[in-house]
Structure formats: C-alpha cells, structure tokens
Amino acid sequence: MLIAIDIGNSSINIGFWGDKGLLTRKIETFPFKTPEEYRSIFEDFLSENSVEKNTTGVIISSVVPGYAEVLKETLRGLISVEPLMVSCRIKTGLKFDIPNPEELGSDRIANTVAAYELYRCPVAVVDFGTATTISVVGGDANYIGGSIMPGVRLMNESLARGTAKLPEVELKIPGSALGTDTTECIQSSLIYGTAGAVERLLSEIEKEVGYGLKVVVTGGYGGIVSKFLRKEYELRPNLTLEGLRIIYMRNRDA
C-alpha cells in the first residue's frame, strides 16, 4: 500500500493506494494537531476500510511549513518506511524551464506531473484551492510557468474582514450573474469573476506560448467554479494524489 499525503493551506488530503484502488480522507489543516491525534485519524481510517498496515511507501507534498515533520513523526508510529518528500530536486519527469524551480509549490509539481502523464500534450492545470493557481507544461514535459491569484474562500473572507457591512457568504453556485441582494452579488462576483479571470489568463498564456493548452481542473472549489468556464476542461478532483503516486513510482528504485 502507498500512502500519499497532500498538505494544503486549507485541508490535508490523504490517499491510500492499495488492492481496493484509491481510498481518500480529508481533514482540516487547522487547528494544528499532535502526532498522536493524527495517528489516531490514520488508524481509524485504516480500520474502517479494513486496510492492512502493510505500507510499502509514503510520499508527502506540503505547502505549510512544519506540517511535514509532524506527519512524518505521526507515520513513524505506524510504519517503518521513510517518507519521500516532493520537490523539484527529485525525479519528477518534468524539466523546469523557470528561474527558481525551488520556489514552486510541491502540489503544483504533483498536479502537472499527473496532467502531463495523463494527456501527453501541452497542459494547463487550474487548481481552485485556497489560492487559484494555473500551472503550465509544454509539449516536451517542460514546466514553463503559471499564475497565482486569491482563491474564492480567501476573497470571501477578505471582503468580510475589510468592510463594515459585507458578510461572509456561503460558497455555492450562484443563481444568476446579476445579484439582487448583497449575498447574491458577492456569490456572483466570487464564482463568475474567478471563472472569468481564469479564462482571460489562459487565453493570454496561450497567445504568449503560441499554442493551445489542454485544461485540467482540480482543487476543493473546482467542482463549483469550473461549471462557469467556457473553455473545455477535464475535472480531476484527485489530481494531486494521482501525481504523488506517479512521482513515488519514478523514485522508488532511484
């Protein structure tokens, strides 16, 4: 069994790859827990799904400083193998045609590894998470760049914190682009606005590189915002975990 862990700013996504295929569990990143508390969550999940503790490997992607060490400590009480940490310095299958690849988030590395492996063509991964990110790989498996903007939850929270009367609203599919009250106006701008911003960014990127891109959507809000994209796309909710599995296999015998 392979355990793949994606530690994000909002949630920790855990994938268990074994005889039953992929089993997933999501837990909130905050509040911070102790290794013992995380270990209990792992043990309960394995027990609930009748998964044996015959783990052959662990791979971790983290964009939250300090969390990876806590999860590594957690797993030391369950399994004997040392986790593989994702970075641009391990074997990913990508070439990094950017000035500072060490600054690239490990989740974006995993996303693009999976997307390029799946489609074998120039691809843009749109991750609607805490941040909304676009990550682009060219036709020669070369990571060439992308963009980062605040995610819908961050914009929602920012409006509520930075104004006197605007509330934080439920993040759901808006009934119309034309809001008729404050809540609907905010929901419309968050969802339609984010979709529109991503479309414009993708169009400008395609102009700059001179070719079309396969668009792959993932992230916690991908199922909501993607419905308002006018570009064709593929929705892959577990793309990051898929990428972690591919990276692990490429480094298993390294």
Which pLDDT value is given to residue 1? 85
Report the topology of domain 95-244: Nucleotidyltransferase; domain 5 (3.30.420)
Which pLDDT value is given to residue 45? 86
Cα dihedral 171, 104, 60, 16 sign: positive
Q: Are 27 and 12 in contact (CB under 8 A)?
A: yes
CA distance 70 to 68: 5
- SS3 of the chain: CEEEEEECCCEEEEEEEECCEEEEEEEECCCCCCHHHHHHHHHHHHHHCCCCCCCCEEEEEECCCCHHHHHHHHHHCCCCCCCEECCCCCCCCCEECCCCHHHCCHHHHHHHHHHHHHHCCCEEEEEECCEEEEEEECCCCEEEEEEEEECHHHHHHHHHHHCCCCCCCCCCCCCCCCCCCHHHHHHHHHHHHHHHHHHHHHHHHHHHHCCCCEEEEECCCHHHHHHHCCCCCEECCCHHHHHHHHHHHHHCCC
Regarding pTM above 0.75, the answer is yes
Q: Which sequence positions are flagged as catalytic?
A: 107
Report the interhelical angle of 152-162 vs 182-209 (nearest 10°).
130
pLDDT in tens, the chain (254 residues): 899 999 999 999 999 998 888 999 999 999 999 999 999 998 898 888 777 767 789 999 999 999 999 999 888 878 888 899 999 999 999 999 999 999 999 999 999 999 999 999 999 999 999 999 999 999 999 999 999 999 999 999 999 999 999 999 999 999 999 999 999 999 999 999 999 999 999 999 999 999 999 999 999 999 999 999 999 999 999 999 999 999 999 998 76
Which pLDDT value is given to residue 254? 64
Phi-psi map region of 210: left, alpha, beta (phi>0 left; psi -120 to 50 alpha): left
Instruction: Tell me if domain 2-85 and domain 95-244 are identical in fold.
Output: yes
**Which amino acid appears at position 200 of this protein?**
R
**Which amino acid appears at position 212 of this protein?**
G
Dihedral pair phi/psi, residue 84, rounded to 5°: -90, 130
Listed by start position, the domains of the chain span 2-85, 95-244
Q: What is the CATH number of domain 2-85?
A: 3.30.420.40
